[in-house]
Amino acid sequence: MGSCLTDSQRIRLDRVSFAYTAGGRPILNDVSIEIPVGKVTALLGASGGGKTTVLRLLSGQYRAHAGRVDVFGTDVTDLPHAALYALRRRMGMLFQFGALFTDMSVFDNVAFPLREHTQLPDSMVRDIVLMKLNAVGLRGARDLMPSEISGGMARRVALARGIALDPQLMMYDEPFAGLDPISLGTAAKLIRELNDALGMTSVLVSHDVDETLAMADHVVILANGGVAIQGSPAQVRASHDPLIRQFIGGHATGPVQFHHPAVDLVTDLLGEANA
């Protein structure tokens, strides 16, 4: 795969390290990830493992402390603002829980990026918005306000807004969070179908293991500041690594501990009593 890509197509993290504060706990430590072009890549792992951080590094919201973050062959780490904003026009983002503008209608939410970043006439904006809403099954809801639609519908409107500019790279931050089983299945099917129909590259952060493994082409599991495994869903499911088995199976015991390191409970309680 890697040898067939030109530099202008590459999306990858190359030996990236990142921490929120200087000298603080590293969220990512010497991490390398290759995102397959035209495929759906899932980022899995425990909370706080750096999944959303990867999305923010790819979009230039965060700057890596070490290594390269290549998006379409451009290292976003040191890009000036104007160049970064131009690059972001080739990206789409579905934020957690949708993040719709509450004082705008469904139509105006989807139209927003078109009006903000293009000089298209109103008639063309209207046609594009209706086509994007039709793709997510909500053309008939165009005049409704976000308060008048369900959470699952709001997520689909946000998806229509995310693809309004026909992005080459689409990123999803917990697209399944808080959805009922029907809405979750619909969202997963839409992400898969839109990726293939529009020829996008998709990167998806999720905690829903079964649904994500069923629709992804490539899976990366992050743990302890690094990559625990990356490969196809079948390769991940076949892994005998105890950490991977614990995560895939959702087991309470294993390498990932429930309790944060602490002194023995009895010692702790007696220490307070004797203080």
CATH of the domain at 49: 3.40.50.300
Within a domain: 232: yes
Q: What is the mean pLDDT of residues 211-225?
A: 90
pLDDT at 258: 60
Predicted pLDDT at 274: 58
194 is a domain residue: yes
pLDDT for 56 beyond 70: yes
Q: Quick one: pLDDT band at residue 263, thresholds 50, 70, 90?
A: confident
User: Which pLDDT does position 68 carry in this prediction?
Assistant: 92
Question: Mean pLDDT over residues 155-172, rounded?
Answer: 89
Query: pLDDT tens digit string along 219-238?
Result: 999 988 889 889 999 999 99
254 sits in the region (left: phi over 0; alpha: psi -120 to 50; else beta) called left
CB-count burial class (<10 Å; 0-12, 13-18, 19+) for 76: buried
Confidence of residue 2 (pLDDT cuts 50, 70, 90): very low
CA distances from 81 to 23, 56, 84, 87 (A): 26, 15, 5, 10
Give the whole-number percent of the chain exceeding pLDDT 90: 35
> Mean pLDDT over residues 75-97, rounded?
86
Q: Which domain holds residue 9?
A: 2-90+167-240
Helix extents (H) in the chain: 51-58, 81-88, 106-117, 122-135, 151-162, 181-198, 209-215, 233-237, 242-249, 265-274
Position 40 in a domain: yes
Residue 244: count of CB within 10 angstroms of its CB: 20
231 in any annotated domain: yes
- In contact, 70 and 12? CB cutoff 8 Å: yes
Nearest to 92 by CA among 232, 233, 194: 194
The pLDDT value recorded for residue 98 is 66
Q: What whole-number distance in Å separates Cα of residue 79 and Cα of residue 16?
A: 16
Phi, psi of 13 (to 5 degrees): -105, 130
What digits encode the pLDDT tens for the residues 97-141? 668 888 999 999 999 999 988 899 999 999 999 999 998 889 999
Decide if 72 is inside a domain. Answer: yes
pLDDT at 269 exceeding the cut of 90: no
Position 3 scores a pLDDT of 47
Domain presence at residue 49: yes
The overall average pLDDT reported for the chain is 86
For residue 25, the model assigns a pLDDT of 81
Tally of domains within the chain: 1
Name, in order, each residue with C-beta under 8 angstroms of 161's C-beta and a sequence gap of 6 or more. Answer: 100, 109, 110, 112, 113, 132
β-bridge mates for residue 18, sequence order? 28
Rounded Cα gap, residues 275 and 272, in angstroms = 5
Q: Is the pLDDT of residue 179 over 80?
A: no
